[in-house]
Chains A and B, each alone.
Chain A
């Protein structure tokens, strides 16, 4: 059964589509910038894990750098299935918004 994408997942997929294989830290900061709220890093990785399990994104470990205290980065990339589902979700949201708008215009 296909599960619909949640708003947080839509946001992440959009960021992945726009970005150039961003890593988790960049994504977290981008989410904070987009929502204006503090975002727990665990939340980002948990959501990305879920998307990866469904084959919507793929991830790749980078090289350790001294700036990161010798820790490696994990880069993410959106897959074809991910693009399709994102487009579908965005279209559904658009329809929802325009439906409300036209209902408003009619009344």
Chain B
């Protein structure tokens, strides 16, 4: 019986060759004995355990040796710590500046990590794709999926293991005694199995299919984790209960896990099956129409070894066969297959890379700052270095304490920066603008810590190596008689570092300036309406969604009357989509001829006659809607100035003309008025074509009330809700919100971007200013004697001041010139976030340059004044 061969070979490698003979002999003897007493298997296991213990011991030994090689003698470390503690202010300055630089990078890394690396909360993310059909003419903005096409893809294409449609919707969900307007997603029954997600409570829709009802004859509905808490306070008993959702008997069958899916911008409360959007056999419903891409997209699970390109090609093939039967459906469109992550992070990756570039600049800046500070400190220790060198220390021995000190500082700074980044990220996540997906892992975690510590190590070595190299350069200062003038570091190096700091600060300041400028322009832009004192709330006018036109119009009138009777309410009107709320309609418009696929499109609003007055949208020509514009009178529309000018030449020429609309009522419509343009989508989106239709002529089941309060009055939400539901109990509505809140939401992204970049810019400005102060102080200290001589020879104090300041500003000027190139690059990288400002905006560029020079000047003044106070007699004596 002999020991396991592999184990023995491993042991032979790890053992000291000097003793291998004895070890091998001992173990062979022991193994044979153990095999006899406890069996071969046990003996083999025991042998392996010894090998494992040896491996562990070797690891510890190697680690100790490694540590000893970079760390010879703990005494050295103790000295370093003592030096650092003796200069607490300088140490603190270094740690703080590096912590900010490294912390900024930890933040940048975690954002990048969340977007590109951190796993999504689904199974096997790599094989999940998002499929949409886009219009060839507008691939960026168009796109969607139709239920029947997706069903055919699933049946006729072998590339998908599963394919599920997704669409957004709203519904009034009864919670206790009120009905809350909730956001939902309509998804195929297979949606959750496609994602590989199990429900947290209850079941998914799988059992009932896309159009099935539960055994109690109700439509199945699921709640998201957040919806469950928001609507039902996390009540477990809700699962299995039937509720009335918009007049439909509905049963809650399950609850999905937390943070399931950042699929859409808004937080989602519930899930429904496609049954919510009509029968697949009804061509007029969303599900029954091939041409109407009523779903946002389809989510597919690719079969193993199928690439995205193969999937796309195969769907094109299926569509080509489908096009034989209905060519018009597929004309001018193509299928687009994207990985799930690409679809989710689209539009955010560029921002993340820009953030990383900015944090790298901050890091470089802090490194330059640290090197500069360390040079000053190293100079003070030059004498010590010389003595040790003269006593026989090698250059490596001399450099080691500097490296050790910097690595130590950088590691402390790294940990501090990481904690700081965690705190900042945690505080920022709730404030993320809605269009930045709050992916899991935005707050730096374990991998962030590893990356941060590695960066800290690099930072420490980088900041330590330069000063250490320069200070330990062999020299003969000790034997030279000229001991007082030990300029260890050439002024060129220090000035170069200073110029570099200025050059690195400039792009950050420029970015901050440009973003602030575009934020300001978005804040002051005239949106075409007056939103001060206006509140809005969305109302479902009929609980079952099937009220007729007369009923709907009557209800609007009743609600308006009861709202007007409330104290403080000045005026009330209704519109189907209100600016800045994210709701919008688009349709084709026929100007002279019938509507085709090539007809121009327009935005479409359904309003009551008072709407233009309540929103203070100015009338440019013609008339506004009257109460006499009813279903029985002539069809009329009001168009925006942009529409009139673009299609008819001018506002007056548009009056009296007729247009036809793809949606919003059949037949020709007379243009009776032209009103001012409105920035409906947000302050930064320029106004486009708009057509207003009186809601009396095309009633909608859901409208938003816009309530103008008397200046200074705020509405009482409970009173408003009571007034709305007084005539028709059970009407769902969204919370009442001030238009200013919606505006703030639209401005959240530019505000967020500006806050982040301006924060970096301020940091950069501070560091650059500290750099100027430190460098000028150092250089004037070195030139003390020369200045004394100048003064003794009759130079005025003013000229000495001027000399110091101009010499300080020279590297700053070099830095500004060099930094301009970086600033221009930073500006163009920020182009997607700029509004009404070009990256080369001259006022911004000159302002930040001036700011930087002014800060540098201010930092140079104190050392320059100190220089003027040099006593010539004293310095002359000192040269003896």
Q: CA separation between A42 and B11, bound complex, in Å?
A: 9
**Chain A, Cβ-Cβ closest to B30:** A25
Interface stretch, picked from B48-56, B507-515, B831-839, is B48-56
Within the complex, the shortest CB–CB distance from B64 to chain A, in Å, comes to: 13
Is B57 among interface residues, defined by CB-CB distance under 8 A?
A: yes
Q: Given the complex of chains A and B, what is the CA–CA distance between A69 and B21 in angstroms? A: 10
With A39-B50, A42-B57, A73-B26 already in contact, 16 other A-B pairs whose C-beta atoms are closer than 8 Å: A23-B22, A25-B26, A25-B27, A29-B30, A38-B49, A39-B53, A40-B53, A41-B11, A41-B15, A41-B26, A42-B14, A45-B16, A46-B16, A67-B32, A71-B24, A73-B22
Known: A24-B19, A46-B16, A67-B32. A41 touches B27 (CB 8 A): yes
Q: Is B23 in contact with A41, judged by CB distance below 8 angstroms?
A: yes
Evaluate contact between A68 and B28: CB separation under 8 angstroms: yes
A25 near B50 with CB under 8 A, answer: no
Residues of B within 8 A of A69 (CB): 2, 24-25, 28
Judged by a CB distance under 8 angstroms, whether B29 is at the interface is: yes
Interface residues of A in 26-70 (CB under 8 A from B): 28-29, 38-43, 45-46, 49, 64, 67-69
Q: Is the CB of A40 within 8 A of B22?
A: no
A45 near B22: Cβ-Cβ < 8 Å: yes
User: Max chain A CB contacts within 10 Å: which of B14, B23, B32, B57?
Assistant: B23
Closest 7 CB pairs of A and B: A25-B26, A71-B25, A68-B25, A40-B54, A45-B19, A40-B53, A38-B53
* 17 A-B contact pairs sorted by A residue (CB < 8 Å): A29-B30, A38-B49, A39-B53, A40-B53, A40-B57, A41-B50, A42-B16, A43-B54, A45-B22, A45-B23, A67-B28, A68-B26, A68-B29, A71-B24, A72-B21, A72-B22, A73-B25
A74 at interface by CB-CB < 8 Å: yes
CA distance A43 to B422 in the complex (A): 43
Total A residues in contact with B, Cβ cutoff 8 Å: 22
Taking chain B's interface residues, is the majority helix, strand, or loop, or is none over half, making it mixed?
A: helix
Which residue of the partner chain A has the closest CB to B56? A40
Distance of A32 Cα from B22 Cα, bound (Å)? 18
Q: Find chain B residues with CB under 8 A from A46 CB.
A: 16
B-chain residues with CB within 8 Å of residue A74 when the two chains form the complex: 19, 22
Q: How far is the CA of A74 from the CA of B15 in the complex (A)?
A: 16
Beta-carbon contact of B54 and A42 below 8 Å: yes
- A73: B residues at CB distance < 8 A: 22, 25-26
Q: Tell whether, in the assembled complex, residue A23 and residue B57 are in contact, meaning their CB atoms are under 8 Å apart.
A: no
| Cross-chain contact B15 with A42 (CB below 8 angstroms) | yes
Q: How far is the CB of A15 from chain B (nearest CB, A)?
A: 15
Measured between alpha carbons, how far is A73 from B21 in the docked complex, in Å?
A: 8
Residues of A within 8 A of B19 (CB): 24, 41-42, 45, 49, 74
User: Nearest chain B CB to A77's CB is how many angstroms away?
Assistant: 15
Interface residues as binary, B85-116 with A (CB distance below 8 Å gives 1, 0 otherwise) = 00000000000000000000000000000000
Residues of A near any B CB (own CB < 8 A): 23-25, 28-29, 38-43, 45-46, 49, 64, 67-69, 71-74
Q: Which of A23, A24, A71, A72 has the most CB of B within 10 A?
A: A71
CA A39 to CA B52, docked complex, whole Å: 10
Most chain A CB atoms below 10 A, which of B15, B16, B21: B21
CB distance from A25 to the nearest CB of B (A): 3
A43 contact set on B, CB distance < 8 A: 54, 57
Interface size on B, residues (CB 8 A): 26
Asked if A25 and B29 make an inter-chain contact with CB atoms under 8 angstroms apart, the answer reads yes
Give the total number of A-B pairs whose CB atoms are below 8 A apart.
75
Q: Which of B1-51 contact A (CB under 8 A)?
A: 2, 11, 14-16, 18-19, 21-30, 32, 49-50
Please name all residues of chain A whose beta carbon is closer than 8 Å to the beta carbon of B21 when the two chains form the complex.
Answer: 71-72
Residues of A within 8 A of B30 (CB): 25, 29
User: Inside 8 A of B16's CB, which chain A residues have their CB?
Assistant: 42, 45-46
Bound CA–CA A41/B10 (angstroms)? 13
Which of chain A's residues have a CB closer than 8 A to the CB of B54? Answer: 40-43
Query: Which one of A39, A41, A71 has the highest number of Cβ atoms from chain B below 10 Å of its Cβ?
Result: A41
Instruction: Write out the residue numbers on chain A whose beta carbons fall within 8 Å of the beta carbon of B11.
Output: 41
Return B373 CB to nearest CB of chain A, in Å: 41
The answer on a CB contact under 8 Å between B53 and A71 is no
Could you tell me if B26 and A24 are in contact, using CB atoms closer than 8 angstroms?
yes
Which residues on B sit within 8 Å (CB–CB) of A38? Answer: 49-50, 52-53
In this complex, which of B26, B49, B52 has the most chain A Cβ atoms within 10 angstroms of its Cβ? B26
A67-B2 Cα distance, complex, nearest whole Å: 10
A38-B54 Cα distance, complex, nearest whole Å:
9
Most A CB contacts (10 A, CB to CB) among B18, B19, B25 go to B25
Using CB atoms, name the residue of chain A closest to B49: A38
How far is the CB of A42 from the nearest CB of chain B, in Å? 5
Report which of A29, A42, A67 forms a contact with B23, defined as CB distance below 8 A: A42
> Per a CB cutoff under 8 Å, which of A29, A39, A67, A71 touches B22?
A71
Q: From residue B467, how far is it (CB to closest CB) to chain A in Å? A: 36
| B23 near A24: Cβ-Cβ < 8 Å | yes
CB neighbours (8 Å) of B22 from chain A are 23-25, 45, 71-74
Q: What chain A residues lie within 8 Å of B57 (beta carbons)?
A: 40, 42-43
B29 to chain A: which residues have CB within 8 Å? 25, 67-68
Question: How far does the alpha carbon of A41 sit from the alpha carbon of B22 in the complex, in Å?
Answer: 9
- For B2, list chain A residues within 8 Å (CB): 69
What's the minimum C-beta distance from A23 to chain B, rounded to whole angstroms? 7
Compute how far the CA of A72 lies from the CA of B26 in the bound complex, rounded to whole angstroms: 9
Residue numbers in A under 8 Å from B14 (CB-CB): 42
Tell me the complex Cα distance, A72–B29, Å. Answer: 11
Nearest-neighbour CB distance to chain B for A45, whole angstroms, equals 4
By a CB distance below 8 angstroms, the chain B residues around A71 are: 21-22, 24-25, 28
User: Considering only CB atoms, which chain B residue lies closest to A46 in the complex?
Assistant: B16
Task: Give the CA-CA distance A69 to B14 in the complex, in Å.
Answer: 20
Nearest B residue to A69, CB-CB: B28
Residue of A nearest to B52 (CB): A38
| A45 neighbours in B (Cβ, 8 Å) | 16, 19, 22-23
Whether B25 lies near A72 (C-beta < 8 A) is yes
Nearest CB in chain A to that of B32: its residue: A67
Min CB–CB distance B632 → chain A (angstroms) = 97
Q: A49 to B28, alpha carbons, bound, how many Å?
A: 22
Measured CB to CB, the nearest residue on chain B to A43 is B57
A24 to B29, CA, bound (A): 12
**Which residues in A have their C-beta under 8 angstroms from that of B18?**
49
Q: What residue in chain A is nearest B3 (Cβ atoms)? A: A69
Q: Report the minimal beta-carbon distance from A33 to chain B, rounded to whole angstroms.
A: 12
Q: Which residue of A lies closest to B27 (CB)?
A: A41
Chain A residues contacting B28 (CB-CB under 8 Å) are 67-69, 71
Q: How far is the CB of B61 from chain A (nearest CB, A)?
A: 9
Residues from chain A with a CB closer than 8 A to the CB of B52 are 38
**B50 & A40 in contact (Cβ 8 Å cutoff):** yes
CB distance from A21 to the nearest CB of B (A): 14
Q: How far is the CA of A25 from the CA of B21 in the complex (A)?
A: 11
A41 to B49, CA, bound (A): 11
Q: Once the chains are docked, how many angstroms separate the CA of A39 from the CA of B51?
A: 9
Binary A-proximity of B432-452 (CB < 8 A = 1, otherwise 0): 000000000000000000000
Measured between C-beta atoms, what is the minimum distance from B27 to chain A in Å?
6
The closest CB in chain B to the CB of A45 belongs to B19
CB distance from B22 to the nearest CB of A (A): 5
Q: List B contacts of A40 (CB < 8 A).
A: 50, 53-54, 56-57
Q: How far is the CA of A67 from the CA of B58 in the complex (A)?
A: 28
A23 & B26 in contact (Cβ 8 Å cutoff) = yes
Q: Which residues of chain A are within 8 angstroms of B50 by Cβ–Cβ distance? A: 38-41
Separation of A74 and B22 alpha carbons in the complex (Å): 6
Which chain A residue lies CB-closest to B25? A71
**Which residues of chain B are within 8 angstroms of A24 by Cβ–Cβ distance?**
19, 22-23, 26
Q: A72–B28 Cα gap in the complex (Å)?
A: 11
Q: How far is the CB of B749 from chain A (nearest CB, A)?
A: 60
Minimum CB–CB distance from B8 to chain A (whole Å) comes to: 10
A64, closest chain B residue (CB): B25
The answer for the CA separation of A30 and B57 in the assembled complex, in Å, is: 19
